[in-house]
């Protein structure tokens, strides 16, 4: 029987039976391309009829040693990896072009090499000379990292098979070309085939591989999402253009917690670790300012303070604007609805702008109360004292719900000189010295007693 052609979205990886201009799964335009199968398979016979090898089954209780890890010494990276790089693991590092992936990995490669690891850096994007120039700029030219500028995967794997390094960095997966697949480098089939080969090599030879994948907006090149399922760990390197801060975020990790973040700063001499991110994400806060509220959040395993800023102004348009940066727009809509329906504070006819300072992104529901306070503070032109932090989840009824790790949130705030906190009613009174707590169980009380709004 002739093989049915199959079509794949280069953005989200969804499979379609026919080509169309827009992917129904993710809504991207011009992202669907025809794809050739990864391999033709072992034979035409159904798998159930052909005889295979008998597998050895093991018990759940079988004891294994914990995976061996190597520390790079870059704390922000080691923590995101779950405590160092696991032997023979496959890691995908995604991010926008130009965000600093090559810089981060060259710096990490140099640190691993200096710790005695055998490291090979393969670039399909830059010539070896360019990488050496970058290394000089970063002050890493003496590091024993081996370089190759190549895109032919067969040649790369042959070389690696001979030298058997402990860590290989592939920059980037979109430039790699596996000659077993006849489509252009960067297409979904090429990216998947190349990633499959690299991951198989890693597992077979006990080499760790870190694969760079550019996040792409156009459909011509496949993004990292099409290979996320093949690797052990998926990291994304993010940052706002115009800000020097970069956040390394784990979104999947078979060897550690997901959702852990590492914070870096892009300087003239490469990426520097940020040891105290809370201080960094708070803009100048000497004077109380209406619309500005400090949220005490948890990112992965760490507490982190961020400043949430709101601006509320009469709208000149028939439809009022809602502009959000660094928070979820749906969440803002929900909080506005709760303020209106449960507390009688209307926002109709008012433009609302909401922003997290410093280019940080906040995903926690625990930020609800801080967002509501920022909105109220901006609307009523009533600033909270500059030494106040806020956290708590708001339910649709307008009740405030307790959140996890209240004590850690308060401790971090206290460490940075904050003296008071607005929180939901806490089940266990945290032991934090010198912090005055204002515990409330519903949003109406916050509206009336703290902001005196009508
Ligand atoms: P790069 O690592 O090449 O990004 P990616 O691999 O994700 O595409 O980073 C490129 C940007 O980083 C570029 O705009 C210049 C900037 N940069 C610095 O600011 N300082 C430095 O020391 C280096 C090496 C790069
Ligand atoms: Mg690069």
Q: Which atom of ligand 1 is nearest to the CA of 237?
A: 7
Q: What is the pTM of this model?
A: 0.78
Q: Which atom of ligand 1 is nearest to the CA of 101?
A: 7
Nearest-5° Cα angle at 317, 451 to 380: 10
pLDDT digits (tens, 9 = 90+) for 183-237: 888 888 899 999 999 999 999 999 999 999 998 776 556 788 889 999 999 999 9
d(CA 452, CA 454): 7
Contact 159, 205 (CB under 8 A): no
Confirm or reject: Cβ of 95 under 6 Å from ligand 1. Answer: yes
d(CA 31, CA 20): 9
Q: How many CA atoms lie within 13 A of 2 on its CB side?
A: 2
Phi, psi of 151 (to 5 degrees): -120, -15
Task: Point out the least confidently predicted range of 55-59, 101-105, 154-158, 324-328.
Answer: 55-59
Distance (angstroms) between ligand 2 centre and the Cα of 123 equals 8
**276 prior amide bond cis, ω within 30:** no
Ligand 1 atom 17, closest CA: 270
Element (H or E) spanning 278, and its range? helix 277-281
Cα end-to-end span (Å), the chain: 73
Question: Candidates 98, 100, 213: which one to mutate for ligand 1, based on the most atoms within 8 Å of Cβ?
Answer: 100
Q: Does 27 or 312 have the greater pLDDT score?
A: 312
Give mean pLDDT, residues 345-360: 91
Q: Which atom of ligand 1 is nearest to the CA of 105?
A: 2
**pLDDT band, very low/low/confident/very high, at 283 (cuts 50, 70, 90):** low
pLDDT score at 273 = 92
Q: Does 188 or 283 have the greater pLDDT score?
A: 188
Q: Is pLDDT above 60 for 329?
A: yes
What proportion of the chain, given as a percentage, has pLDDT over 90?
Answer: 59
Q: Is pLDDT above 80 for 49?
A: no
Q: Is pLDDT above 80 for 314?
A: yes
Confirm or reject: Cβ of 270 under 6 Å from ligand 1. Answer: yes
Mean pLDDT of the chain: 88
Nearest-5° Cα angle at 104, 231 to 211: 25
Q: Which atom of ligand 1 is nearest to the CA of 103?
A: 2
Q: Which atom of ligand 1 is nearest to the CA of 104?
A: 2
**pLDDT band, very low/low/confident/very high, at 433 (cuts 50, 70, 90):** confident
Distance (angstroms) between ligand 1 centre and the Cα of 171 equals 13
Q: Which residues are registered as beta bridge partners of 420?
A: 388, 436
**Would strands 32-35 and 6-9 be described as parallel, antiparallel, or unpaired?**
antiparallel
pLDDT score at 45 = 61
Contact residues for 319 (Cβ-Cβ < 8 A; gap 6+): none
Q: Is pLDDT above 60 for 41?
A: no
Confirm or reject: Cβ of 99 under 6 Å from ligand 1. Answer: yes
Ligand 1 atom 9, closest CA: 100
Q: Each residue of 269-295: b (16+ CB within 10 Å) or e?
A: ebbeebeebbebbbeebeeebbbbbbb
Ligand 1 atom 23, closest CA: 270
Confirm or reject: Cβ of 266 under 6 Å from ligand 1. Answer: yes
Confirm or reject: Cβ of 22 under 6 Å from ligand 1. Answer: no
Strand segments, DSSP code E, in 254-291 are 261-267, 270-273
Q: Which atom of ligand 1 is nearest to the CA of 95?
A: 7
Phi, psi of 102 (to 5 degrees): -65, -40
Confirm or reject: Cβ of 103 under 6 Å from ligand 1. Answer: yes
What proportion of the chain, given as a percentage, has pLDDT over 70?
Answer: 93
Q: Which atom of ligand 1 is nearest to the CA of 212?
A: 6
pLDDT digits (tens, 9 = 90+) for 366-424: 999 999 999 999 999 999 998 899 999 999 999 999 999 999 899 888 888 889 999 99
Residue 215's CB is within 10 A of a number of other CB atoms, namely 18
pLDDT digits (tens, 9 = 90+) for 94-141: 998 999 999 999 999 999 999 999 999 999 999 999 999 999 999 998
DSSP, res 358: G
pLDDT score at 6 = 83
Checking 362-366 for CB contacts under 8 A at 24+ apart, the result is 362/295, 362/297, 362/306, 362/308, 362/326, 362/327, 363/328, 364/297, 364/298, 364/403, 365/331, 365/393, 365/403, 366/295, 366/297, 366/298, 366/391, 366/392, 366/393, 366/403, 366/404, 366/409
Distance (angstroms) between ligand 2 centre and the Cα of 96 equals 10
Question: Candidates 96, 103, 131: which one to mutate for ligand 1, based on the most atoms within 8 Å of Cβ?
Answer: 103
Q: Does 13 or 399 have the greater pLDDT score?
A: 399
**pLDDT band, very low/low/confident/very high, at 302 (cuts 50, 70, 90):** confident
pLDDT score at 235 = 94
Strand segments, DSSP code E, in 337-395 are 350-356, 388-390, 393-394
Checking 151-158 for CB contacts under 8 A at 24+ apart, the result is 151/124, 151/175, 151/176, 151/177, 151/185, 152/177, 152/179, 153/177, 153/178, 153/179, 153/194, 153/197, 153/198, 154/178, 154/179, 156/122, 157/197, 157/198, 157/201
Residue 42's CB is within 10 A of a number of other CB atoms, namely 9
Residue 112's CB is within 10 A of a number of other CB atoms, namely 28
Give mean pLDDT, residues 244-252: 88
Q: Is pLDDT above 80 for 50?
A: no
d(CA 104, CA 270): 8
Give mean pLDDT, residues 442-447: 94
Distance (angstroms) between ligand 2 centre and the Cα of 108 equals 14
């Amino acid at each position: 029987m002739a093989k049915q052609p199959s079509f794949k979205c280069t953005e989200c990886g969804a499979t379609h039976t026919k080509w169309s201009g827009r992917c129904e799964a993710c809504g991207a335009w011009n992202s669907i391309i025809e794809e050739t199968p990864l391999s033709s398979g072992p034979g035409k016979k159904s798998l159930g009829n052909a005889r295979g090898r008998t597998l050895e089954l093991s018990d759940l209780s079988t004891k294994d040693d914990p995976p061996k890890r190597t520390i790079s010494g870059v704390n922000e990276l080691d923590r995101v990896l779950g405590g160092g790089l696991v032997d023979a693991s496959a890691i995908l590092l995604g991010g926008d072009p130009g965000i600093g992936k090559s810089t981060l990995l060259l710096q990490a490669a140099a640190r691993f090499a200096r710790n005695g690891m055998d490291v090979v850096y393969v670039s399909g994007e830059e010539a070896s000379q360019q990488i050496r120039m970058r290394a000089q700029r970063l002050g890493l030219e003496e590091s024993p990292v081996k370089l190759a500028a190549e895109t032919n995967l067969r040649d790369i794997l042959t070389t690696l098979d001979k030298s058997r390094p402990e860590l290989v960095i592939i920059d980037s997966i979109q430039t790699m070309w596996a000659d077993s697949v006849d489509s252009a480098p960067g297409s979904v089939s090429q990216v998947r085939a190349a990633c499959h080969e690299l991951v198989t090599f890693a597992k077979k030879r006990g080499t760790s591989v870190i694969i760079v994948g550019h996040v792409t907006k156009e459909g011509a090149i496949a993004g990292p999402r099409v290979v996320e399922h093949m690797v052990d760990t998926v990291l994304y390197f993010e940052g706002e253009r115009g800000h020097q801060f970069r956040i390394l975020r784990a979104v999947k990790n078979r060897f550690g917690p997901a959702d852990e973040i590492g914070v870096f700063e892009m300087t003239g001499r490469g990426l520097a670790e940020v040891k105290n991110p809370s201080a960094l994400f708070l803009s100048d806060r000497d004077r109380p300012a209406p619309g500005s509220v400090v949220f005490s959040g948890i990112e992965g395993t760490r507490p982190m303070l961020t400043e949430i800023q709101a601006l509320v102004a009469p709208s000149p348009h028939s439809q009022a604007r809602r502009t959000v940066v660094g928070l979820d727009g749906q969440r803002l809509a929900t909080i506005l609805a709760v303020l209106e329906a449960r507390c009688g504070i209307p926002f109709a006819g008012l433009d609302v702008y909401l922003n997290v300072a410093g280019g940080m992104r906040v995903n926690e529901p625990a930020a609800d109360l801080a967002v509501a306070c920022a909105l109220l503070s901006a609307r009523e032109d009533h600033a909270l004292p500059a030494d106040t932090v806020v956290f708590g989840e708001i339910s649709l009824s307008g009740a405030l719900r307790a959140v996890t790790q209240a004590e850690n949130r308060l401790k971090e705030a206290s460490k940075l000189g904050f003296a008071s906190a607005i929180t939901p009613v806490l089940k266990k009174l945290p032991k934090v010295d010198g912090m005055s707590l204002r515990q409330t169980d519903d949003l109406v009380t916050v509206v009336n007693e703290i902001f005196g709004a009508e």
